[in-house]
Amino acid sequence: MASLCIGIFHSASKIWHSVGILWAIAAVAFLYRLYQTRSFMRRLQREGLPMPPHHPLFGHLLVAWKMVKRLPPDAHLLLMANQVRQAYPHLDTAFYFDTWPFSPPSLWVISPDMSAQFTQQKSFPKFKGLRQFLKPLTGKQDLVTMEGHDWKHWRAVSNPGFSTNYTTSMIPVMVKAIKIYRDIVHRHAIDDPMFFLEVPTLELSMDIIGRIVLDHEFECQTSYNRFTAALQNQLAWCNAGVHKSPFQYVNIVRPFVQQYNTWRMNSYLDPLLKSRYETLQRRPNNKNVTDLMMDAYAKEKSDANNTCPTKMDPDFSEFVRSQVKLFLQAGHDTTAASIVYTFYLLSKNPGSMCRLREELDSIFGPDATATCDLLKENAHLLGQCKYLLAVTKEALRLYPPSSTVRFGPPGSYLVDPNGKRLPTENCLIVGCHQGLHRNPRFWPRADEFVPERWLVDEKDLLYPVKNGWRPFERGPRNCLGQELAMTEIRLVVAVLVREFEFRDAYSEYDLKRGQALDNMRVSGDRAYQVEGGGCHPSERFPCVVSFAHRTSTYLGQNLSNL
């Protein structure tokens, strides 16, 4: 018995000895990487390259903590760029930021010209953390993170499914969904309770993108849909490996929730995609992106007699499913947030609201309730709404739904306005649209809602700076669905803005929850952008909606029908 105990003791000692060696190796590797990163930044600092004050041990972690404390707990990390620029005004084009081990050494870019250098003049590869973020949502491959020949091929195949002509042809389909959305808003205007505007707007956008991408009726606005519920829940559990809090790096529940959501999504989509492929030949002229990808696959796999395979092989089936999930997520998430922010900004700027309504009256006539029918009959009327387009672009400037994150290849660098070369090799390059779009160096009246800047002559001081407007990014990796997003936002605003008044209800919401207002604003803005997919308005935008004065006749005519 004694010898057995001694044996167990020796085995345990060996295990602990091995664990100790592994910990020692990990500690040495950590310290070496820490030394490498801090030394790299210290060298750049000695060379006079732009960055906040750098600590030899903590890097910019102390600065980052200071900036994070200025922001609400759920505020999007990208808002930190503007906070840094405000705290250090000389850092108004780009700056290095060293927060290792929480993220790689990075270069934050808030200059139009410098943004163009790594997205348009050259297209730097996407940050691998983006693949980590999207993998639970899309699977193995998706167009956002693919590179090289595969990306070029499938991007070319997908382009017609989001073209201007196809998007315009789908306006009647979009208007049908928007009419349901209008009815939902109408009911809220009558009941007059506070509600969260983002919720029905997300459902609207999902119904629209489902028809555009898949020619499928999700019917999210009128009933529960298990696929879209799983998709939205999955999005909330995705992460890119960069967090404000160290506690967010370890979450043992996350993989189990993600696996369950994946099963829910795939079990809904797979039969639907299988059926679409089997009936593909009956839709020879269909231009939705799912059919385009399936058609390209069928032609590639057809035999000498042009006979297509009767079913998709497992690899392609998984691939097309991944792209559909990507398009559905990207096509509803950011667009819905942009619609909400457009209503928010118009409610805060009555002069712009008045001018917009006057334009819509002149194009669609004084009867606001007829807008849907007019758009269904003549979709090109939307193109005549110049001020509406300006309003949409200005809302996207102030609240861009995303940014771009790339990784510096070997030997790469950017050049600042003073001609300094900023090395980017092995650096995370954050093209921060939130910081760029509100940078007063490039945008006069940067924090103001001024749609007129999109209508002035090139000689006017308000005229937008070249390459400065980047809500959908620019260059070969720009957003595939930007034409669809711009069309959808304008349609929703055109249909609703003359009938209803939107007002944020943050004060009522905060009072109801007993929530302190300290540290719940960003530069005075309660509707700040939060993390989770696209940059959504905080708290899902609590809102009160009422009828615009001009719709009093419409209200009297329709109350009896409710």
Q: Which residues are annotated as a binding site?
A: 479
Task: Kindly provide the b/e burial profile for residues 9-25, where b requires at least 16 CB atoms within 10 angstroms of the residue's own CB.
Answer: eeeeeeeeeeeeeeeee
H/E run at residue 62: helix 61-70
Inter-residue contact 158 to 152 (CB < 8 Å):
no
Q: Catalogue the E-assigned strands of 160-276.
A: 195-196
Inter-residue contact 158 to 293 (CB < 8 Å):
yes
Give the C-alpha distances (Å, rounded to integers) separating 393 from 208, 349, 386, 487, 537: 21, 15, 11, 11, 17
CA torsion 463-467-472-475 (nearest 10°) is: 150
Measured N-to-C along each axis, helices 254-278 and 314-348 cross at an angle, to the nearest 10 degrees, of: 110
3-state DSSP assignment of residue 125: coil
Q: HEC profile for 470-519?
A: CCCCCCCCCCCCHHHHHHHHHHHHHHHCCCEEEEECHHHHHHHHCCCCCC
Indicate the residue type of 120: Q
CA–CA distance, 8 with 341 (Å, rounded to integer): 65
Give me 89's structure tokens. 């005004």
Q: Which residues are annotated binding-site positions for heme?
A: 479
Inter-residue contact 471 to 397 (CB < 8 Å):
yes
CA–CA distance, 151 with 146 (Å, rounded to integer): 5
Give the C-alpha distances (Å, rounded to integers) separating 77 from 39, 96, 106, 535: 25, 15, 14, 10
CB atoms under 10 Å from CB of 428, counted, come to: 21
